[in-house]
Chain A
Amino acid sequence: MKRNKPLALVAGAALITLAACGGGGGDDEGSTGGTDREFGDQGAGTKDEKLQGPAEAIEGATEGGTVTVYVAGDPGPNSLDPTEGWSVLGNSIQQALTSRSLTQYKRGPDGEPVLVPDLATDLGTPNEDYTEWTFTIRDDATWEDGKPITGEEVAWGIQRSLDAEQFPSGPGTEYSKAYFEGGQDYNGPYTDKGKAYDAISFDGQDVTIKMSKPFPDMDYWGAFMAMGPAPLGKASQPPNYGQDPLSNGPYKIEKFTVGEELVLTKNDQWIADSDPARHQYVDEWIFKFDQDQAKVDQIMLSDNSDSQTAIATSIGSDKYKQANEELGDRLVQQTAQCVSTLTPDYTKITDINIRKALAYAYPYNDMWLATGEVPGVTRVPANSVMPPGMAGKVDGFQPDGEQITFNPEKAKELLTEADAVGYQINMVYYETDPLAVAGQKQLTKGLETAGFKVKATPIQVSPYDIWLDPENKINKTLNLRGVNWCSDWPAGSTMLPPLLKTGAVYNTAQFSEASVDDEMDNIATLPLEEQADAWGALDEKIMTDYFPIIPTAFRNDLFVFGTKIGNPSGDAALGAPNYKDFYVMQ
């Protein structure tokens, strides 16, 4: 899932990260008095297919109040169309508050995400080889106009996700198109108007989806709001529907100004009994997008009447010390289930020792400082592609024996061993962003100290424009790229194949090993309970045997809560504030 930020504001090293959802979250450590925050054990994600509404009441919760959420440096979603939603920010708000889908996540007792039913009565029924899934839509769920949600509307909503022309940035382009039967040839109900598509069918409240290949993660995919209902026909016609979609969650859209503001008010047609995980304590939500970080920090640290019922989704690194000392458990650290990587070109840098030398030559702490992160807090050292808390991750293994840190001497040794001292590195950096420029300076210094030669070309477009375009002239000259990637759900299948399968779009390392590809295909056919461990083992094997990608950091977010926000916590599934469970203390 991508983090939508205006390009100018995002650090080049931390540009747009794609994919999120998933993972565990030992967060709100509640450390006070300026101690270093440590991560608790990451509880891996679980499922609870029997959970029914209403959601368990939050202890001490009271009704009423308005919550203002300040979002710094991110303009928010362009469109609220559920089919289009694939950003951490937009999805975390809409999935929690306005747009229901087949399944959803609930915050478990240890902060881990638990997959529970939403509009469906359970987590779906697959056939034996996961090529056909059936979901039964509950009868008591309603739209904001009071009408019941039908199986037909859910089927229609899901069908919309196949329209890659109409929703080019929607998550359906990645999953519906790839897994649904005939998804590659069918371009959706708007582009292929009138064309029949029978992989998605409904019978009363039962919705059945046929797959072209085994898709054991359909229940996770069902937690995306793209896998939810849409009103039939004209009523959900894009692009207008995206400005004011019909809500079916506990809140409805009162006002939406792109890039500025989203106001949500109570949806009195929402029936608490129909929803196993959402609450409706707060009267009104105001999301303010694209705020100035310094201004937000100032508001949140002042503890005046405005900030007491406010939430900030980030804090400036310059204010971290003060916030950590003053805010206590109102500063919440949340794993974002994301990994930042450097990707040496596997076809050009063929010697594993040079790839390892790069890992030792990367000045981790210096990069994080220069790009406005808090080392060890918002960025933590990484050991592999799968982020901590993901089911199956092998804990504590290190691809090179111990945690790789910045060690130019070791890098030099490796380079000497590979007979490649003075190895030429060609890379690009996003010159429009001062933080990216500062980061590149540190990186160049690190690589050069370790004995590499560096040619860093400044570019004016997002590096992904270069990295992802195989025909691009500059891209052909590069031998070091990068990707930041977040999981879409807590399973290795959303981390390893997108980054390391031959020919995958985001495989900027150009990594290709037939045995690895085969293993990835193989895992999808294993019994469900064995898959997690199989992914973890593959993760370890790839890193140990090939080291094709240099994981530079796992990412965490910091959220700030006002003194009157009840139950301050993070949503581990999305790496966002846990909007489902907040209340305002009266």
Chain B
Amino acid sequence: MSQPTAPETLGSLSDETPVDPNSKQAKAIAGRSPMQIALGRLVRDKIAMVCAAVIVFFLVVAIFAPLICKLFGVSTDTVFASQYLDMLGGGMPLKGPPNNGFDPEHPFGIAPQSADDNLAYWVYGCRTSLTIAASATLFASVVGIAVGLLAGFLGGIVDKVLSFFIDLFLTIPFLLAALTIAPILNDRFSLNDNYALIQKFSLVAVLAIFGWMGMARLIRGEVLSLREREFVQAARVLGMPTSRVLIKELMPNLAAPIIISVSLMLPAFVAAEAGLAFLGIGVTSGASWGQTISKAVKYFEEYPLYLWEPLIGVVLLVLSLNLLGDAIRDALDPKTRR
């Protein structure tokens, strides 16, 4: 389930027909940069565009979470549970779903047992999910790119050592490692005043520590082949400092693999965050989709909506990110289109 992504093996979904290089169309696009070409391909991919729209929606929800909550008049504040729940009726809501139709004060209903507002928790759950996934992606990418660049460019003993570490980390089962490390970190920091924040950071750290290898491998491979190309050789002969060669000459050529990698890393992290929370690890204070799912499982018969709301959130977000990532890969790397 935590398979390193292997971008070179995937078939394509793109509807685009191969372009004859001598046609009018081909001439018209001549003079555009590869990125522009890719973007053009992407825009024409209907599925990709639908996915992008869905992702934008989730982004908006995450960014404007407080505003949205205000708009609907809901909040994640604790309320006295007994005022809203049927005490002898299994702690089910007195108003609204599942037993009493729609409740305009709580459009998504309220949670059994705790009477928390589902919409507010959903919106903030989205925020948690995206912040954690995005930060983990950022950290993992930076580490992955750095390791990959160094290993690929310097070669020799550095490459051997770094490659060994890449392989070493790949052999550690991610889920088990996360399960083990997260409670230890919590134990260490639970007395800190910023505990809630530290908890998020430690989750990001755990995700990033076990998520950078795919990127590092990919970059290393690319750099290995780029290193022997004429323009790099030329730059070195001219006496350009290594750091400049790396940043000025190599990086621009690595944009495509990095974008592909990042676009596939994001959904993996969103899924991982929710999965860990489902298992009871990760964010315990505050809202998290996975946490709500694990609470809601036992109510799935009596109150299916409670389960389906966060579930649809996770599935839709991960699905869209995955499909968009796939489309980006196809657009950037036409070789994969067969």
Contact = CB atoms under 8 A, between A and B. Distances in A.
Complex A–B touching at CB under 8 A: yes
Interface string A359-380: 0000101101110101111000
A366 B191 contact: no
Interface stretch (B53-61, B85-93, B252-260): B85-93
B234 to A, nearest CB: 58
B114 A36 contact: no
Contacts of B285: 431, 437, 458
Q: Most chain-B Cβ atoms within 10 A of its Cβ — which of A324, A365, A441, A458?
A: A458
A438 B91 contact: no
A442 B112 CA distance: 14
A318 B90 contact: yes
Nearest to A457: B191
A322 interface: yes
B91 A318 contact: yes
B261 interface: no
Interface in A441-484: 441-442, 444-446, 457-461, 474
A442 B90 contact: no
B78 A445 contact: yes
A244 B46 CA distance: 68
Interface in B110-126: 112-115
Interface in B278-294: 280, 284-285, 291, 294
B8 interface: no
Interface residues of B, number: 33
B87 to A, nearest CB: 5
Interface in B167-213: 183, 186-187, 190-191, 195
B87 A365 contact: yes
Size class of the contact patch on chain A: 35 or more
Contacts of A458: 190, 195, 284-285
B247 interface: no
A92 to B, nearest CB: 26
B280 A369 contact: no
Contact of A318 (B112, B114, B183, B294): B112
A40 to B, nearest CB: 19
Contact of B85 (A316, A369, A460, A474): A369
Given A318-B299, A370-B113, A437-B285, A375 B82 contact: yes
A366 B115 CA distance: 10
Nearest to B91: A369
A541 interface: no
Nearest to A36: B88
B81 A369 contact: yes
B297 interface: yes
Contacts of A319: 90
Contacts of A502: none
B88 A366 contact: no
A132 B115 CA distance: 58
B95 interface: no
Given A322-B90, A372-B113, A431-B284, A363 B190 contact: no
Interface string A427-445: 0000110100110011011
A457 B193 CA distance: 9
B87 A374 contact: yes
Most buried by A among B79, B81, B87, B294: B81
A441 B77 CA distance: 9
B186 to A, nearest CB: 6
Contacts of B88: 36, 320-321, 324, 374-377
Nearest to B112: A318
A317 interface: yes
A451 B90 CA distance: 31
Contacts of A293: 298
Contacts of B114: 369-370, 438, 441-442
Contacts of A374: 87-88
B124 to A, nearest CB: 15
Contacts of B183: 432, 460
Contacts of A375: 82, 87-88
B82 A366 contact: yes
B114 to A, nearest CB: 5
Interface string A76-100: 0000000000000000000000000
A520 B20 CA distance: 100
Contact of B113 (A36, A369, A444): A369
A458 B299 CA distance: 27
Contacts of A441: 78, 114
A434 B85 CA distance: 19
Nearest to B191: A457
A462 B173 CA distance: 29
A265 B115 CA distance: 47
Interface in A397-447: 431-432, 434, 437-438, 441-442, 444-446
B187 A370 contact: no
A461 B82 CA distance: 29
A57 interface: no
A585 interface: no
A365 B79 CA distance: 12
Interface of B: 78-82, 85-92, 112-115, 183, 186-187, 190-191, 195, 280, 284-285, 291, 294-295, 297-299, 302
Given A434-B280, A442-B80, A458-B285, 13 more contacts: A322-B90, A366-B80, A366-B81, A366-B82, A372-B91, A376-B88, A431-B190, A431-B284, A442-B114, A445-B79, A457-B191, A460-B186, A461-B187
6 contacts: A8-B280, A317-B91, A366-B80, A368-B87, A445-B80, A460-B183
List the 10 shortest-distance A-B pairs measured between CB atoms, nearest first: A365-B82, A318-B90, A369-B81, A441-B78, A366-B81, A460-B187, A294-B298, A445-B78, A375-B87, A321-B89
